Structure 1
Amino acid sequence: MAKHDLDPNYLDPDYEPVVNHAGNRAFQDVLATRMQRRTLMKGGVGAALASLMGVGLAGCGSDSKNDDGNGTTDPDGGMSNATELGFEAVAVSTANSVVVPTGYTAKAFLPWGTPITGSYPAFRADASNSGADQEQQVGMHHDGMHFFPIDFKAGGSRSDEGLLVMNHEYINQSALHPDGPTYTSNSMRPTDEVRKEVAAHGVSVVHIKQDGAGNWDIVFGSPFNRRITGNTEMDIRGPVRGYQKLSTRFSKDGTQTRGTLNNCSMGLTPWGTYLTAEENWHGYFANGSATPPREQTRHGVGSASRYDWELAEGGDDQYVRFNITPTAESAVDDYRNEANTFGYMVEIDPFTPESKPQKRTALGRFGHEGVIFAPVEEGKPVVCYSGDDSRFEYIYKFVSSRPYYAATASGYLLDEGTLYVARFNEDGSGDWLALALDDPAFMARVEAAQGTMVGDVQFEGFENQADVLLNTRLAADIAGATPMDRPEWGAVDPNTGEVYFTLTNNSNRTEEQVDAANPQAENRTGHIIRWSEGSSDFAATSFQWDIFVFGGTQGTETVVDGEVVVSLTDENIFNSPDGLWFDYNGRLWIQTDGSDAPPYQNNMMLAANPATRDIRRFFVGPQGCEVTGVVTTPDVKTMFVNIQHPAKDWPFGNEGDHPRDATVIVTRNDNGVVGA
């Protein structure tokens, strides 16, 4: 995600640095592809794709649904017109308020600093709350979230009470403290300021309930209310558990760590737990050594950290760990390996507040934007997808070794399996490339790369499978994956099984680097790609893909098989698609995190009918914000939308220099289904 409110000494280009210099080229004749593409562009603002390949996805995955190609089915098909959009599109906006369609109401809820647990310390308007207070309050910079019905574990689907679980991605130091971050006379950070900053990260679990009048509030005193922060103890699970490159002074055997950081999107597991993603974790650590290891180089870990937590007064171990410069004879006596315990998907059971979060290393270590699970079937593997949100990074798929059985399923299914990375071919086909030392094709490429420079890394092989997963990006480079334009959120269409991913933007892509899946040089507006797995089997190693829609200004076209399937108008222009979610009726919700300049104005959320590509703007956020994170109650009558880093004076009009992120509750005034 494009970040805002970073301190001047940590500028946006360094937040998500380009660190993939491997130079992968998935296509052999880029020039010919570019020439074909240009014949299909109109007025310099059009964009085209699937006609280049002679293949489309119309009807993909629809055999069992009896899809007639128009988003409807016969009465026995199980699919209905529920995906149709029943609201009038809202206009773009520059207002410092939320805009929703006529007939809808939007209310701010659970802003940063809301007390949810412990002694319930009240939020102070001057931001003078202590670090201990923040550990009991909703964190900062809301992001991905999910609503768990309170009767979920019993198989229920109540829509009037549940657990709202949300991520807190990063912080605005200037807003978090009364006068911004401070330093002592010896250039150290006050310990309580650092404690507060660590506590403002992580995850909030909030028990909420609707009253008879339809208003939502916190269930105070609930045992489910919980804060998970950048200092909460966690277990390492999967193949990387116990690997010597995870040994630290805190966990000499490499089985534990403290905290989760830069939590962007999330994923709901089939067994009802919450996976939170660790995205831009690299910036929290400082390594002053001249030759950092490859597991840091390939992620952009530098000599200075984003927030200077390692400079906390007093030298507490919980803060010293952010200095990963080797300072002792052995890794078990310092924190040179601390960064290796970050970059994973972290599993949290919101219904078991005493449970320890689990870092699931089999899903790979990189800049996880989130994770999305394919529908599960008894006796078949669990399959999930994750994007690495950085320019020229990759899309991954995990297939469990053990089969899914609802009666016994739990997080153990994510500890053994095969991690794949995607290669998008010019003809509309795609391949999943295994990142496994027992895969002959991968091993052949590993052996061929021995002793060569892979990007900025002198490659000398992998010690074991744990080493492969610790260096997932490097393994994907060697496998020959397709570098993408910042793959972010994913979503699986519940009606067709097609998998969608947002490719937010990539202004660094040159004309020489364009390819069929990323066909725009200096791609500042982004696009959404989708695919259908081979033989409708999510565990397949091949797929067919196309582009669902290109972002852009009025007149931007998406062309499939020679036909214009989308031509953007005032009702649906957008740029930098980011958040993505299918609701329980099959509508696709698209959130943006891009330019707030004309003609797009404030960031927004659009709804789409995936069958017809009818796309309409539904929601516009206040000034300066990113619109990120969306979920509804099971009856789809209450929608929760997160607003991150809003401008001053939203939502309460008196924040001054301390604006507060918040969740927005959207409902229809007639108590109907949102979007219908």
Structure 2
Amino acid sequence: MTDLSLTIGYDDGDIDTNASGNPHLNEIVQQRYSRRQTLLGGLSAMTTAAFGSVLLSACGGDELDDPGVVVSAGESITTTAGKTVTLNGVAGNNATTSGFTQVSGPTVTLSTAGGVTTFVAPAVSAATALVFRFSASGKNGQTSSADTTVTVNPATLAFTAVSKNLNDVVTVPEGYSVAVLYRLGDPIASTVGVYANDGQDTNFAQRAGDHHDGMSFFGLGATGSAPDANNNTRGMLVLNHENITQAYLHQAGATTVAGRRPEAEAIKEIEAHGVSAIEVTRASGGAWSYVQSSALNRRVTPNTPIVINGPVRGNAQLRTLYSADATAGRGTINNCANGQMPWNTYLTNEENWAGYFRRTAGDAAVRTAAGLAKQNVSLARYGVREGASGNYGWSTVQPSTAGDTRFAKWNATATAGVAADGSADFRNEPFQYGWVVEIDPFNPTAAPRKRTALGRMNHEGCWPGRTIAGTRPAFYMGDDAQNEYIYKFVSNAAWADADASNADRLAIGDKYLDTGTLYVARFNADGSGQWLPLVFGQNGLTSASTVYPFADQADVLINTRLAADVLGATKMNRPEWTAVNPVNGEMYCTLTNNSSRTPATTDAANPRAYTDPKLPQGDVVNADPPTSSQATRGNANGHVIRVRENGDTTEATAFTWDVYAFGSGADLDRTNINLSGLDATNDFSSPDGLWFGRNTNVTGQVAPVLWIQTDDGAYTDVTNCMMLAALPGRVGDGGTRTVNNTLTTAAGVTTTSTTTTRIGAAPGANLKRFLVGPKECEITGITSTPDGRSLFVNIQHPGENGNAGNITSSWPASQTGQGGSSRPRSATIVITKNDGGIVGI
């Protein structure tokens, strides 16, 4: 028998038999005092319910009167870059303050209004987690907090593609709205009346011009006279007016009396060309308008005084009756694409200027007799033809004021028996055109400057490459004509970041645009390329050249095309707009089309020559062979080429290239024509306008959005012209393709060839149709506010095939639901997202 009294004995419960880890009450109290903020800030709702406020105040004292704040940071969220994210923090009723802070991930700007916190999801290249902490304080300062995670995926083109159509309105995706902002004839001075649009209006020097084209938005500061790069509600909108639809400008169309154009009609037509610079504002409700009475409003027309700058300034070939010392000129004309400089100026580019000049028979002989025979070579190369009467016949006007030479300047015929140096007539006026022109949007009294170092051609775009401190910037340009070239200009001056905010903006333009090296591109079959320098004395650019005897560097620049011929540059399919990816620096250029491209003249960079059937109602797709009335030939649908500089630097003299996308109807042969595999959501023809989203918002960051606009004649039986959005990847993301070309001429002659090209990855869902314009228009010109929430687009020459007696479009009246038949007007529209988000993503 065991003696239990020796081992057990009596106890009154004073023995610890609880081996669990649960806390003692005194430990809780001790923690309450030693970790006061942690306990009060972090007590869960369950703990509060279990113990109540009695526990928190049991020991007395004011600091124990507050039971703490219960908080929730909301559920985790998954979104895509560019979307507006709303954070859902909730605090108990006893909270005195609350708010979100960011804990981790790419830094974003939190905005809180009315107790709601939002931010724009940042640009990312892969799924990225951002953590946010919601904190709330009680009356005694005790703080509670909770975290939530937002996972951001890369941006997508988050809209449903617009269908092709032939409607007389601008069609955009569901969830977007279109507003008309600035139309042909709109007054830009307080004293000018509303545009009647009946052909009787005058004074286009103070009205919006016609054929709206390239365009840039510059944020305007509070003082109303200086730039503010971050202003999204007030700015200067600068846009080109390329040409006119003459039939609608006058009451019953243009007239000619005894072989002469009436002065008033000619003045109206001349003034409707050029550039507009207007102040625009956005109201608190979101609506945009232009400020008619703004002191900054300005029209630059073909009559506006111009300063000639750069290496050609003062050269004898630019002497005229107006400027005997060749340092000045009048105006700019046929302004197509544009450039927006990092120092807040605007570049406008003179494209199809040659056709405006009269050059009567016998002119060549007069020049030869004066010792200027080589001018005939130059004029022929640029298309100033002997025997040409000049667009719109302006030189025929008999001015009402003696000594008025505004009309005579369009007659480039050399007058026999007068000063052979050109100072007594306007034989040299064509040499004053074909340049890049710089305008200061913030100084309406400053004379625009022609930047002759950038060469003379049918200038289309002129877009700057990335600006990197210490690196010489480049400016990329196309020469818009069949079989012309792509160029870049590299400044002699290395970029300095301080120049972006210099108040003397045109002086900064002098620094970067007046001295440097102009290059032309040669594309090789292996996907490489070279920038060939157009420098006098090098590579055959001498007085001994059999193509053209160059006298000096000014002569090389005046005759850029001839110099590029000598160097063996690659003939391209109408190089038009250029655009530069703001992240990786790659340059894109639209090659709109080329009806003269044949199988025998295809090359790696221009690999297609084919017959593209037109499809009038009732015809068979791809009828073989199509009749001449149905078909376009050569490269009717165009393509977009892209260049990656060696070393990713603007200073490079070599590059690699591929074709981003080939224009085509979705139904055409995917082996030899529809090489990019386009479908009904993204097929297009004749790419023209080109622009990347700004690097101040997600559309210009990490994987920027590329906007492509069309100017088409080959696909207009199926759809009006359009605009597409793309996420384009980069050079080399595809491979090589072999194209078997077959082209049948109108006479029934068939030729063939085989060409290997380099093509980017098929765009697929990363290319979508975003907009279709009204009847007979071109979509051209695009810019946005810095935040990307307002997109400005130009609609050019709607109803261009009609006239006052046969109106073929009533846009923009048709856009706003106005009934009846109204003369069409080129106009700028503003596209916004109904939810206030960033356009396109």
**Kept in 2: contact 1:555–1:567 (CA 8 A):** no
1:523 matched to 2:616? The reply is no
- Go from structure 1 to structure 2 and tell me whether the alpha carbon gap of 1:620 and 1:92 turns closer, same or farther (over 3 Å shift): same
Cα displacement (A) at 1:181: 1.3
| Higher relative contact order (Cα pairs below 8 Å, separated by 6+ residues) | 1
2:241 to 158, 168, 184: 168
- Go from structure 1 to structure 2 and tell me whether the alpha carbon gap of 1:432 and 1:73 turns closer, same or farther (over 3 Å shift): farther
State the match for 2:59 in structure 1. none
2:705 to 584, 587, 605: 587
Task: Give the Cα–Cα distance (whole angstroms) in 2 for the partners of residues 395 and 508 of structure 1.
Answer: 18
1:204 matched to 2:276? The reply is yes
1:435-584 equivalences in 2 (<5 Å): 435-439=534-538, 442-443=539-540, 446=542, 450-451=545-546, 454=547, 459=548, 461-521=549-609, 522-554=634-666, 566-584=676-694
**Kept in 2: contact 1:637–1:667 (CA 8 A):** yes
- Go from structure 1 to structure 2 and tell me whether the alpha carbon gap of 1:158 and 1:319 turns closer, same or farther (over 3 Å shift): same
State the match for 1:227 in structure 2. 299
State the match for 2:484 in structure 1. 393
- Go from structure 1 to structure 2 and tell me whether the alpha carbon gap of 1:429 and 1:176 turns closer, same or farther (over 3 Å shift): same
2:719 to 597, 601, 605: 601
Normalization by structure 2: what TM-score?
Answer: 0.67
Task: Give the Cα–Cα distance (whole angstroms) in 2 for the partners of residues 321 and 353 of structure 1.
Answer: 25
Task: Give the Cα–Cα distance (whole angstroms) in 1 for the partners of residues 670 and 525 of structure 2.
Answer: 17
Q: 1:466-505, CA deviations, whole angstroms, 9 ceiling, x for partnerless residues?
A: 0000000000000110000001111111222211111110
**Kept in 2: contact 1:199–1:229 (CA 8 A):** yes
The AA in structure 1 aligned to 2:635 is N
State the match for 1:636 in structure 2. 788
The AA in structure 2 aligned to 1:577 is P
Q: 1:430-454, CA deviations, whole angstroms, 9 ceiling, x for partnerless residues?
A: 0000000154xx23x657x733xx4
**Kept in 2: contact 1:489–1:578 (CA 8 A):** yes
1:376 to 467, 477, 480: 467
Cα displacement (A) at 1:596: 6.3
* Identical aligned residues as a percent: 45
The AA in structure 2 aligned to 1:450 is S
State the match for 2:392 in structure 1. 307
1:430 matched to 2:529? The reply is yes
**Kept in 2: contact 1:390–1:486 (CA 8 A):** yes
State the match for 1:144 in structure 2. 214
State the match for 1:652 in structure 2. 813
- Go from structure 1 to structure 2 and tell me whether the alpha carbon gap of 1:659 and 1:596 turns closer, same or farther (over 3 Å shift): farther
Task: Give the Cα–Cα distance (whole angstroms) in 1 for the partners of residues 516 and 831 of structure 2.
Answer: 39
1:81-96 equivalences in 2 (<5 Å): 83-96=155-168
State the match for 1:98 in structure 2. 170
1:70-469 equivalences in 2 (<5 Å): 72-73=125-126, 83-117=155-189, 119-130=191-202, 133-151=203-221, 153=226, 155-184=228-257, 186-288=258-360, 289-291=362-364, 293-302=376-385, 303-314=388-399, 316-327=404-415, 328-330=418-420, 331-408=422-499, 410-412=508-510, 413-439=512-538, 442-443=539-540, 446=542, 450-451=545-546, 454=547, 459=548, 461-469=549-557
Q: 1:49-70, CA deviations, whole angstroms, 9 ceiling, x for partnerless residues?
A: xxxxxxxxxxxxxxxxxxxxx9
Provide the alpha-carbon RMSD of the alignment.
2.2
Moved over 3 A (4+): 73-76, 80-83, 152-156, 555-560, 596-600, 653-658
The AA in structure 1 aligned to 2:469 is E
**Kept in 1: contact 2:166–2:718 (CA 8 A):** no
Q: Which stretch of structure 1 is more off in the superposition, 628-637 or 657-666?
A: 657-666
State the match for 1:57 in structure 2. none
Q: Which stretch of structure 1 is more off in the superposition, 655-664 or 543-552?
A: 655-664
Task: Give the Cα–Cα distance (whole angstroms) in 2 for the partners of residues 406 and 655 of structure 1.
Answer: 54
Q: Which runs of 5+ in 1 are unaligned?
A: 1-69
- Go from structure 1 to structure 2 and tell me whether the alpha carbon gap of 1:532 and 1:556 turns closer, same or farther (over 3 Å shift): farther
Q: Which stretch of structure 1 is more off in the superposition, 482-491 or 328-337?
A: 328-337
Q: Which stretch of structure 1 is more off in the superposition, 544-553 or 286-295?
A: 286-295
**Kept in 2: contact 1:121–1:136 (CA 8 A):** no
**Kept in 2: contact 1:557–1:566 (CA 8 A):** no
- Go from structure 1 to structure 2 and tell me whether the alpha carbon gap of 1:472 and 1:546 turns closer, same or farther (over 3 Å shift): same
State the match for 1:50 in structure 2. none
Aligned length: 587
**Kept in 1: contact 2:572–2:591 (CA 8 A):** yes
Q: Which stretch of structure 1 is more off in the superposition, 325-334 or 261-270?
A: 325-334
- Go from structure 1 to structure 2 and tell me whether the alpha carbon gap of 1:587 and 1:247 turns closer, same or farther (over 3 Å shift): same
Normalization by structure 1: what TM-score?
Answer: 0.84
SS of alignment partner, residue 110 of structure 1:
strand
2:826 to 658, 661, 665: 661
- Go from structure 1 to structure 2 and tell me whether the alpha carbon gap of 1:129 and 1:81 turns closer, same or farther (over 3 Å shift): farther
The AA in structure 2 aligned to 1:411 is G
Cα displacement (A) at 1:187: 1.5
Q: Which has the larger radius of gyration?
A: 2
